[in-house]
Amino acid sequence: MSMIEVLFEKLILNSWPLRRVLGKKIVSKFQIGSYEWRLKMGTVDRPYYGYCVYNAALLAKKLNLKRISVIEFGVYKGKGLLNLEYHAQEISKLLGVEIDIYGFDTGEGLPAPLDYRDLPYHWETGFFKMDVPKLKSELKRSKLILGNIKDTAKDFFKDNDPAPIGAIFYDFDFYSSTIEALNMLEAGEKYYLPRIFCYFDDTMGNELELYNDHTGQRLAINEFNLAHQDIKLGVPYYLFGKKFIENWYYQIWTGHFFKHSRYNEFVSGHQVDAQEK
C-alpha cells in the first residue's frame, strides 16, 4: 500500500462522519490509489457492482476457472452495463479471470404491471424505454438480450452457452419479472459458480415505494427460497459486522447451490493447525 493510500485510508476509516465523507469524495474525484484499494474503500462508482464482480472472479480463480459471466437484469440507458465493463476490465487485470457481460431488457420500457405485486402505484408501463442503437454503439464487451424476460429466459442458455455465472444484478422493478429471472437459477450447475453474488436494486426505497416482504423483489426472493430446497438466496451477515455500514449492504444477497458438485470444495486458502482450535 502506498503512503498516500495509507493516509486516505485513515481518513476514510475515521470515526468522524464529515472526515470520512470528505476523504471518500477526494479519492473518488481524483482517482487516488489503485483500483483494488479504491474498491476496498468503497470509492469506485457503483461499489456494489464492483464488490459482486470482484468476489465472483475471486471465487472463480480459487476454483481454477478462467472465465465467468455476470448478468444485469434491467438495463435502461446502460449506465450499469458500462459500469460493469469498467469493473470487469480492472478485475480481469487483477485476477486473470475473463468476464463476459449480459444485459437483459425489453428495450421498450416497463411492461404493464400484472397485479398489486408489481407495485402499479409506483411503476408505470413504458418507464425506462431504451435508446437501443445509442446504447449498442457505446457498449464494448456487453451483449444485450432484448425482449420480455418470460421469452428471453427460455433460450438464453441454449443460444449463448455462457461461462459460469458468478454475479447477477436484479433491477427489473417488478415482482413478476424478477421471479422469472430468479427461475433462471434452475438452469443447472454448468452455468453457475457454486456460490454467486447478487444485488437487488428495488429492496430498500423510501416512503413512496414502501418495499416490503409481500410485494416486489422481496416477495420474489422469499417465494423463490420457499420453492427451492437446493438453491437458496441468503443474507450476507458478515457485511453488517463491519465498522461502517453502507446502505447497499442491505441490497446484497448470496446465492447458494447446495447440490453443486463443487459447493464443498475447499477455497479458504489456508489450513487450520489443530492446536489453534
Domains of the chain, by residue range, sit at 1-43, 45-276
Q: Please, is 220 exposed, middle or buried when counting C-beta atoms within 10 Å of its C-beta (0-12, 13-18, 19+)?
A: buried
CATH numeric code, 45-276: 3.40.50.150
Contact between residue 33 and residue 4 where contact means Cβ atoms under 8 Å apart: yes
Sheet with 231-234, side-by-side order of all strands? 142-146, 98-105, 67-73, 165-170, 192-200, 252-257, 231-234
Per-residue pLDDT tens, the chain, 277 aa: give them.
788 888 888 878 887 677 778 888 888 888 899 999 999 999 999 999 999 999 999 999 999 999 999 999 999 999 999 999 999 999 999 999 999 999 999 999 999 999 999 999 999 999 999 999 999 999 999 999 999 999 999 999 999 999 999 999 999 999 999 999 999 999 999 999 999 999 999 999 999 999 999 999 999 999 999 999 999 999 999 999 998 899 999 999 999 999 999 999 999 975 544 444 4
